[in-house]
Amino acid sequence: MQKFEAKATKRFLPGSPRKMRLVIDMIRGKSVAEAVGLLKFNPKHAAREAEQVLRSAYANLENKNDAARFDMQTAKVSAAFVNGGPMLRRISPAPMGRAYRIRKRMNHLTIVVSSQQ
């Protein structure tokens, strides 16, 4: 049996890595078809971005080897992780002439899909 793997990465996604990890933890280890179903009906904003990256990873798997046919039921999410990206720092006015710092966070999302043939 031969194992095929493909990866997709999306960088500089707006939103905190902590919120993205809540969504990604749901799909890790599941089949691609089940993971797409979970993400499609999840109300969180991060789920839309994660579904896009998951579909891209599956398309990369199909394009990697033209001879082999892959099924969404047999292909699975072997790894999915979120790393923190850069922060945009903004200033918000505060009482008595002070300024509070607002940190607008970003994250980098990577999904690895694998299949046994």
Give the pLDDT confidence score for residue 105 in this predicted structure: 96
Mean per-residue pLDDT, 107-111: 97
What end-to-end distance do the CA atoms of the chain give, in Å? 6
Give the pLDDT confidence score for residue 70 in this predicted structure: 82
- pLDDT tens per residue, range 61-90: 999 877 677 888 889 999 999 999 999 999
Give the pLDDT confidence score for residue 17 in this predicted structure: 97
- pLDDT tens per residue, range 25-65: 999 999 999 999 999 999 999 999 999 999 999 999 999 87
Alpha-carbon distances, residue 21 vs 12, 24, 67, 86, 92 (angstroms): 15, 5, 35, 17, 27
Give the pLDDT confidence score for residue 111 in this predicted structure: 97
Residue 67: strand, helix, or coil: coil
Q: How many independent structural domains does the chain possess?
A: 1
Q: Model confidence at 22, in pLDDT bands (50, 70, 90)?
A: very high
Domain CATH number, residue 45 = 3.90.470.10
Paired strand residues for 101: 91
Give the pLDDT confidence score for residue 3 in this predicted structure: 86
Enclosing domain of residue 42: 3-116
